[in-house]
Amino acid sequence: MAPDDDIDNLTRIPLFAIFEGSALRKLALSSETRLFRSGDTLFRRGEESDGGYILAMGSVGLLPYDDARPPSHILRPWALIGETALVAPSRRSVTARAMEPTTALKIGRAMFHQILEQYPSTAARTRDFFRDRLVNFTRQAMTGLSASE
């Protein structure tokens, strides 16, 4: 896929839709293309995270359990897997497995942080993006608590 196609497709992902054009270009050019066969694992539940994956082709199943249950979610292009892992270290909460031949772009956390340092406007938008996510999550959690009381 051509870099310009990658850049256009990246804007389908809410986090990257807020990036400046030059920051998005650097992200696309700095990501590592990884190819997976059907059944290959991108990462396992419980592993330490080191970044995120952008699903470019194929499909990925998210498996929250270490048994034979089917995936809880199946993601298709253009999805971001491991959004939080781009920002901070964490343990993977699910196993991500290719459901068919799959291409993913790996974005390392260090490279993501480097882009944010080089593009302050993108960094500010990214901070606001995650702040809004946290506020919405907290509201939903509090609403759920109120309804169950």
Reported as a single tens digit per residue, the pLDDT across 24-38 is 999 999 999 999 999
pLDDT of 51 higher than 70: yes
CB 8 within 8 A of CB 78: no
What is the CATH number for 98? 2.60.120.10
Distances (CA, A) of 29 to 22, 44, 85, 135: 11, 26, 19, 32
To 10 degrees, the CA torsion angle through 86, 7, 24, 99?
A: 0
What's the mean pLDDT when you consider all of the chain?
Answer: 92
Reported as a single tens digit per residue, the pLDDT across 83-123 is 999 999 999 999 999 999 999 999 999 999 999 999 999 99
The residue range of the domain holding 101 is: 3-148
Q: Report how far residue 104's alpha carbon sits from residue 59's, in angstroms, rounded to the nearest whole number.
A: 10
Average pLDDT on 28-51 reads: 96
Phi-psi region of 122 (alpha: psi -120 to 50; beta: other; left: phi over 0): alpha
Q: Say which residues have a Cβ less than 8 Å from residue 113's Cβ, sequence separation at least 6.
A: none
Reported as a single tens digit per residue, the pLDDT across 132-142 is 998 988 888 88
Domain count, the chain: 1
Q: Report how far residue 120's alpha carbon sits from residue 133's, in angstroms, rounded to the nearest whole number.
A: 20
**Reported confidence tier of residue 149, pLDDT bands at 50, 70, 90:** low
